[in-house]
């Protein structure tokens, strides 16, 4: 028997509740590889799955946790053998398939990647889906021409998980980083990660009637969406790109096509869930080389399985700064 965070649903009321319970290997879903989980983390999707589900969870009882890192314990696939260190992000694990909030997990071999050289399992979960997504966004911007010296790169939702890692990576690569935050108390934190400019959220989250404003940003990692993304599109420099990674400010986009037509602005969609294996390896390799580990350590908020119900509600309320690292064995 081992510990896991199990979410139950009351069929009569429809309400869910989450708590640490003991389960066995027989309870785990089918998969070719069994992993002794060491660390997991907390993302916005995890908050939904710990709480009401947000339409992501198909069946109860359920074990959330869309990320985990640990050691292979048993494998029916030749690519992995007992003792191998592995990382999992995405593939709807923690949503449709039981996830990483457990001391053991069983998953498909195709969903795993080897732990990149230069990272340990704790650091990998300080990165997690949020950091992996941030790296994918930076890679996409670079693939579309972004280079240091072209001007400031905007990061919206900069104090959140994706924003924190994006700020640290961009700063480390020599970019000027303008971090947008609605929490003035996070300004020193963002500057410590590499932000050279702090932009108050209220300065940029209103829709304006003008489809184009002054050219300000050479690139943008946007975790907010909604009216803020619409506004940012009109402020991008000619030929610049926005990597859209989230919708904390809403899924609607009250924008016009004018920035695309008159300034050649690119809107790049970043999906981390179904990302092909080769690009996953590329992103994790870049994380190991381009994310400064001291900055990563500064983002970490430690947690245990028993802390997760509160952290789940906190992240939905926008009250989590940086990266939560969950020690599932603590």
Nearest to 220 by CA among 230, 210, 212, 211: 230
- Residue 289 corresponds to which tokens in the numbers above? 């080389």
DSSP 30-88: P-SEEEEEEEEE--HHHHHHHTT-TT---SSSB---SEEEEEEEEESSTT--TT-EEEE
**139-143: long-range contacts, CB 8 A cutoff, minimum separation 24:** 139/282, 139/283, 139/286, 140/241, 140/243, 140/268, 140/270, 141/219, 141/221, 141/241, 141/243, 141/268
207 has a pLDDT exceeding 80: no
53 has a pLDDT exceeding 90: no
Give this prediction's pTM.
0.92
Beta strands across the sheet bearing 177-181: 197-200, 177-181, 153-155, 217-222, 236-244, 266-269
Q: What pLDDT sits at residue 28? A: 97
> What does the pLDDT average to over 272-287?
96
> What does the pLDDT average to over 175-184?
95
**In whole numbers, what is the pLDDT of the chain averaged over residues?**
95
Burial-class residue 143 by CB neighbours within 10 Å (0-12, 13-18, 19+).
exposed
* pLDDT tens, residue by residue, 262-273: 999 999 999 999
User: What are the φ/ψ torsions at residue 102 (nearest 5 degrees)?
Assistant: -160, 150
Asked if residues 3 and 103 have their Cβ atoms less than 8 Å apart, the reply is yes
Q: Which domains does the chain have, with CATH numbers?
A: 2-115+299-327 (3.90.180.10), 128-269 (3.40.50.720)
pLDDT bucket at 195, cuts 50 / 70 / 90: very high
205 has a pLDDT exceeding 90: no
* pLDDT tens, residue by residue, 95-127: 999 999 999 999 999 999 999 999 999 999 999
Nearest to 33 by CA among 113, 114, 105, 124: 105
Q: What pLDDT sits at residue 99? A: 98
Nearest to 204 by CA among 184, 186, 226, 187: 226
* Lowest-confidence segment of 67-71, 119-123, 147-151, 245-249 by average pLDDT: 245-249
């Amino acid at each position: 028997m081992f510990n896991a965070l199990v979410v139950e649903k009351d069929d009569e009321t429809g309400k869910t509740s989450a708590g640490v319970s003991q389960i066995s290997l027989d309870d785990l879903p089918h998969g070719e590889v069994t992993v002794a989980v060491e660390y997991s983390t907390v993302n916005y999707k995890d908050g939904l799955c710990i709480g009401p589900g947000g339409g992501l969870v198909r069946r109860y009882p359920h074990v959330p946790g869309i990320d985990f890192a640990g050691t292979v314990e048993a494998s029916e696939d030749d690519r992995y053998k007992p003792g191998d260190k592995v990382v999992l992000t995405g593939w709807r694990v923690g949503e449709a398939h039981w996830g990483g909030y457990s001391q053991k997990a069983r998953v498909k071999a195709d969903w795993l990647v080897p732990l990149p050289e230069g990272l340990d399992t704790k650091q990998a979960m300080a990165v997690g889906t949020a950091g992996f997504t941030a790296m994918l966004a930076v890679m996409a911007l670079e693939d579309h021409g972004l280079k240091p010296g072209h001007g400031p790169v905007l990061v919206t939702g900069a104090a959140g998980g994706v924003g924190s890692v994006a700020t640290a990576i961009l700063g480390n690569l020599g970019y000027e980083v303008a971090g947008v935050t609605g929490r003035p108390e996070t300004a020193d934190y963002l500057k410590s990660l590499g932000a050279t400019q702090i932009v108050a959220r209220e300065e940029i989250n209103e829709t304006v009637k003008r489809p184009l404003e002054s050219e300000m940003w050479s690139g943008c990692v946007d975790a907010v969406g909604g009216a803020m993304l619409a506004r940012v599109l009109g402020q991008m420099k000619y030929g610049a790109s926005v990597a859209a990674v989230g919708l904390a400010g809403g899924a609607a986009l009250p924008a016009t096509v004018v920035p695309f037509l008159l300034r050649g602005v690119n809107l790049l969609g970043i999906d981390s869930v179904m990302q092909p294996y080769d690009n996953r390896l590329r992103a994790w390799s870049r994380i190991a080389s381009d994310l400064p580990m001291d900055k990563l350590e500064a983002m970490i908020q430690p947690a245990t399985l028993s802390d997760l119900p509160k952290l789940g509600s906190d992240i939905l309320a926008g009250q989590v700064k940086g990266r939560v690292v969950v020690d599932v064995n603590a």
